[in-house]
């Protein structure tokens, strides 16, 4: 059959051309590009679909934001199924609230958007020393979220509109003091109790199970004594450091970069100044500003006549509380640290100069330049290593996408081994033993990634021992691995776990004995209270648990107050049993509650948060929200129930 293609190549090309080109015209090239992407729908908000690709992008943006703001956080927390599902829930909430904003016609004007962007600290950090926005960095910020500047601004506009929905509910929420106090009094209510704990650990001494008992327990509970599935794996990591190793910078390029950037590499100029501020906010009445200006002029005349008195005048008259006590001294600072009119004046002065009046949004300043710290020029040899590292990093960042494509294609095309990709890109093939499906506590590095472990221990990987696909485990980090050897879940031999079986048998019997003793004592003491041997009474509450078990405190506070004093038995699970005598209710004492007003305010916040959540739940029902992927919590629960 293939001989036909070989003999009639030109004819076949014409036929293919005639077949393919019309389909591009009808469906568009973009449709073909999308075929390679994940378009699986993971959730629906009314008629709006949320795809796997949108979910992945939202999670990546969320992870990038968290990594930037909290670099100390453990990376593996971001890759857990729970973290990913939380991102999907936030994505759904955003879609629902945006629909609500559109229905309520809550639109954000250009002026409102401009004010928001001007006040945003992230946008403010992109401004140049002259106050203008660095458009290149602004485009990079938008691109990091997969958006154009226009798309970024449209997203912010929608976010502002969406926030107005919740804000309207929160600001309209209020709770009267009377119902708030009823709820708070119940929450902070205290009860006087006497509790006797029958702890399982106190009953272990006399328990001595036979070998037959141990064997019987082992047979009946063999699921307790299984070794988890584990594998020995190989893996390779591609990251910026790996790409940097293959980049060499010539000496000429290093020196050229030094010559062009020597001023920046040497540091920045610092200036030290003192000032006298006469406060006059820009929104103050004109008469007040004129009065402040007149005072500032008189002080300027005085310090120019006697420059040595500047510090004394600042201490007496300056209205800047932070510097007045220090004679107006502001210490050393660089460009960008002060408001622009102040900065412009300082960096235009000579040492010892006293400025004219400088007007800012804070009022009127009289400035004295007291010192200038010029940056020391650093030699090429001093900064050579730093320059080389910077240039390698820059080139690695530009080259990473290209190398990542090679990495991804190679591990797929030569799937029987990781050596080809390692040799091609100069990577190290690493090994790890006893790798589990979920990272063990304390695991760090790429093997802490749930995504990578899931790929490594997928059925196909276990069966065929092929390379996994390239898995992104962090920003600018790809990993591929393969299984070398695999051990499935297996029941451990009785001889190997006999000490553990003995511990379990003793613990189970001790728990039974503690429960029986506690139940018997409760029945006796209820019948004959005089025979009860209880410790001294203590007062417990939800915020003062007195080292008592949570189950005990919850049960004691939940008992019917009308039947007090009364007895209560509390099951503490495997740890034992508790017998509690609840003597009386101890009311919340307002005398020792100076924060009652704060408590009511907090309660109002809880109440309005509940109203927002109720409103959101109603919106979800109205829009018929569907989540089409399983919740990891539900999955965990089902596993526990098996």
User: Where is average pLDDT lowest: 82-86, 156-160, 177-181, 558-562?
Assistant: 177-181
Average pLDDT over residues 462-469: 93
Name every residue whose Cβ is closer than 8 Å to that of residue 418 and which is 6 or more positions away in sequence: 234, 235, 236, 411, 429, 467, 480, 481, 482
pLDDT at 176: 74
pLDDT by residue (tens digit) across 538-556?
999 888 888 899 999 999 9
- What is the C-alpha to C-alpha distance for residues 396 and 241, in angstroms, rounded to an integer? 8
3-class DSSP assignment, residue 358: strand
Element (H, E) at 430: strand 430-435
> Does the structure show a pLDDT above 80 at 400?
yes
CATH hierarchy code of domain 268-373: 3.10.50.40
Instruction: Tell me the range of 89-103, 136-150, 195-209, 260-274 where mean pLDDT is highest.
Output: 195-209
- When mean pLDDT is compared across 89-103, 189-203, 519-533, 625-639, the lowest value belongs to 625-639
| Cα three-residue angle 252-254-258, rounded to 5 degrees | 115
Say if 189-204+493-587 and 268-373 have the same CATH topology: yes
Query: What's the confidence (pLDDT) of residue 234?
Result: 97
Closest by alpha carbon to 243, among 47, 478, 520, 24?
478
- In angstroms, rounded to a whole number, what is the distance separating the alpha carbons of residues 573 and 562? 28
The confidence score (pLDDT) of residue 35 equals: 37
| Residues near 312 by beta carbon (within 8 Å), at least 6 away in sequence | 327
For the cut 50, the answer to whether the pLDDT of residue 405 exceeds it is: yes
Res 193: pLDDT: 94
Residue 154 is predicted with a pLDDT of: 78
DSSP secondary structure letter of residue 394: H
- Give the DSSP per-residue string, 613-631: HHHHHHHHHHTT-EE-S--
Q: Provide the β-strand partners of residue 585.
A: 191
Q: Distance (Å, rounded) from C-alpha 398 to C-alpha 559? A: 67
Q: Look at domain 189-204+493-587 and name its CATH class.
A: alpha beta
pLDDT of 641: 33
* Domain residue ranges in the chain: 1-36, 189-204+493-587, 230-250+383-488, 268-373
Q: Residue 634 above 50 pLDDT?
A: no
Confidence band of 620 (pLDDT split at 50, 70, 90): confident
Whether the pLDDT of residue 314 is over 60: the answer is yes
What is the reported pLDDT for 73? Answer: 64
Assess whether pLDDT exceeds 50 at residue 30: no
What H or E segment, with its residue span, contains residue 640?
helix 632-641
Residue-wise pLDDT tens digits, 272-286:
999 999 998 887 888
pLDDT (tens digit per residue) in 58-110:
887 787 777 666 666 665 567 677 888 888 998 898 888 887 777 777 777 77
Contact yes or no for 344/300 (Cβ under 8 A): no
CA–CA gap between residue 370 and residue 352 (Å, rounded):
6
Tokens encoding 223: 């699921």
Residue 287 Cα distances to 44, 293, 365, 487, 524, angstroms: 60, 10, 18, 85, 86
> pTM of the entire structure?
0.47
Percent of residues in the chain assigned helix, strand, coil, to nearest 5: 55, 15, 25
DSSP letters spanning 552-594? HHHHHHHS-GGG-SEEEEEE-GGGEEEEEEEEEEE---GGG-T
Which residues does residue 373 pair with via DSSP β-bridges, in sequence order? 270
pLDDT at 532 over 80: yes
At 173 the pLDDT is 67
Higher-confidence position of 107 and 210: 210
- pLDDT > 90 in the chain, percent: 40
Q: Which tokens in the block code for residue 449?
A: 């990634």
Name, of 26-30, 116-120, 266-270, 369-373, the range with top average pLDDT: 369-373
Please tell me whether residue 161 adopts helix, strand or coil conformation.
helix
Distance CA(587)–CA(88), nearest Å, equals: 44
Query: Mean of the pLDDT values across residues 491-499?
Result: 93
* Host H or E run for residue 510: helix 494-527
User: What would the pLDDT profile of 422-455 be if each residue is shown by its tens digit?
Assistant: 999 999 999 999 999 888 777 888 998 888 998 9
Mean pLDDT estimate for the chain: 82
Q: Is the pLDDT of residue 638 over 70?
A: no
Other CB atoms within a 10 A radius of the CB of residue 77 amount to 14
For the segment 475-504, the average pLDDT, to the nearest whole number, is: 93
Residue 129: the pLDDT is 65
**527 has a pLDDT exceeding 70:** yes
Contacts 24+ apart (CB under 8 A), 373-379: 373/269, 373/270, 373/271, 373/272, 373/332, 374/269, 375/263, 375/266, 375/267, 375/268, 375/269, 376/266, 376/267, 377/262, 377/266, 378/262, 378/265, 378/266, 378/267
DSSP annotation of 469 reads P
Strand partners, 568: 580
In sequence order, which residues have a C-beta less than 8 Å from that of residue 616 and are 6 or more positions away?
93, 96, 97
Residue 10: the pLDDT is: 45
pLDDT at 258: 82
pLDDT at residue number 8: 45
Task: Please provide the DSSP assignment of 77-144 as one string.
Answer: GTTSHHHHHHHHHHHHHHHHHHHHHHHTT-PPPHHHHHHHHHH-HHHHTTB-TTS-B-HHHHHHHHHT
**Chain centroid offset of residue 383 CA:** 36
Which run of H or of E encompasses 21?
A: helix 9-27
HSE toward the beta carbon, residue 463, CA cutoff 13 A: 3
* CA distance linking residue 85 with residue 627, whole number of Å: 10
Nearest by Cα to 347 from 369, 377, 327, 375:
369
544: which DSSP letter?
A: B
Mean pLDDT of 158-186: 73
């Amino acid at each position: 059959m293939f001989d036909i293609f070989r003999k009639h190549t030109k004819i076949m090309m014409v036929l293919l051309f005639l077949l393919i080109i019309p389909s591009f015209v009808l469906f568009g090239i973009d449709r073909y590009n999308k075929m390679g992407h994940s378009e699986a729908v993971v959730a629906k908000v009314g008629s709006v679909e949320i795809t796997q690709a949108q979910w992945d992008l939202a999670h990546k943006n969320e992870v990038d934001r968290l990594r930037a703001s909290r670099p100390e956080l453990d990376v593996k927390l971001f890759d857990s199924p729970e973290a990913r599902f939380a991102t999907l829930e936030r994505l759904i909430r955003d879609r629902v609230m945006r629909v609500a904003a559109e229905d309520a016609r809550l639109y954000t004007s250009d002026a409102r958007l401009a004010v928001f962007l001007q006040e945003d600290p992230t946008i403010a950090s992109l401004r140049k020393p002259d106050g203008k926005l660095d458009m290149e960095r602004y485009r990079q910020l938008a691109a990091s979220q997969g958006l154009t500047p226009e798309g970024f601004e449209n997203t912010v506009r929608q976010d502002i509109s969406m926030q107005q929905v919740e804000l309207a509910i929160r600001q309209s929420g209020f709770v009267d003091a009377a119902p708030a106090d009823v709820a708070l009094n119940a929450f902070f209510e205290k009860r006087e109790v006497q509790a006797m704990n029958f702890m399982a650990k106190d009953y272990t001494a006399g328990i001595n199970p036979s070998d037959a008992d141990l064997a019987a327990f082992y047979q009946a509970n063999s699921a307790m004594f299984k070794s988890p599935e584990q594998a020995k794996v190989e893996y390779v990591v591609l990251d910026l450091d790996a790409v940097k190793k293959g980049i060499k910078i010539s000496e000429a390029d290093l020196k050229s970069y030094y010559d062009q950037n020597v001023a920046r590499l040497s540091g920045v100029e610092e200036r030290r100044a003192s000032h006298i501020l006469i406060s006059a906010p820009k929104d103050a009445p004109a008469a007040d500003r004129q009065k402040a200006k007149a005072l500032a002029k008189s002080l300027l005349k005085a310090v120019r006549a006697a420059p040595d008195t500047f510090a004394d005048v600042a201490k007496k008259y300056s209205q800047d509380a932070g510097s007045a006590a220090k004679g107006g001294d502001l210490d050393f600072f660089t460009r960008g640290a002060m408001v622009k009119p102040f900065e412009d004046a300082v960096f235009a002065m000579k040492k010892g100069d006293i400025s004219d009046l400088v007007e800012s949004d804070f009022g009127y300043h009289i400035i004295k330049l007291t010192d200038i710290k010029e940056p020391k020029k650093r030699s090429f040899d001093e900064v050579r290593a730093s320059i080389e590292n910077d240039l390698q990093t820059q080139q690695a960042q530009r080259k990473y996408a290209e190398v990542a494509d090679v990495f991804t294609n190679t591990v797929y095309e030569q799937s029987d081994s990781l050596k080809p990709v390692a040799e091609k890109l100069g990577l190290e093939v690493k090994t790890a033993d006893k790798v589990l499906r979920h990272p063990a506590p304390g695991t760090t590095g790429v093997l802490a990634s749930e995504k990578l472990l899931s790929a490594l221990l997928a059925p196909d990987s276990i069966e065929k021992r092929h390379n996994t696909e390239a898995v992104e485990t962090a920003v600018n980090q790809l990993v591929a691995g393969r299984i070398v050897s695999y051990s499935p879940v297996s029941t451990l031999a009785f001889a190997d776990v006999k000490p553990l079986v003995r511990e379990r048998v003793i613990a189970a019997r001790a728990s039974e004995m503690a429960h029986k003793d506690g139940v018997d004592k409760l029945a006796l003491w209820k019948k004959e209270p005089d025979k009860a041997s209880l410790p001294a009474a203590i007062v417990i509450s939800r915020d003062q648990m007195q080292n008592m078990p949570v189950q005990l405190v919850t049960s004691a506070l939940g008992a019917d107050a009308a039947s007090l004093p009364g007895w209560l038995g509390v099951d503490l699970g495997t740890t034992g049993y508790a017998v509690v005598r609840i003597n009386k209710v101890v009311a919340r004492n307002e005398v020792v509650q100076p924060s009652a007003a704060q408590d009511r305010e907090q309660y109002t916040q809880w109440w309005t948060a509940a109203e927002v959540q109720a409103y959101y739940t109603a919106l979800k029902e109205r829009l018929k929200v569907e989540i089409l992927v399983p919740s990891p919590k539900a999955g965990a629960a089902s596993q526990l129930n098996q």
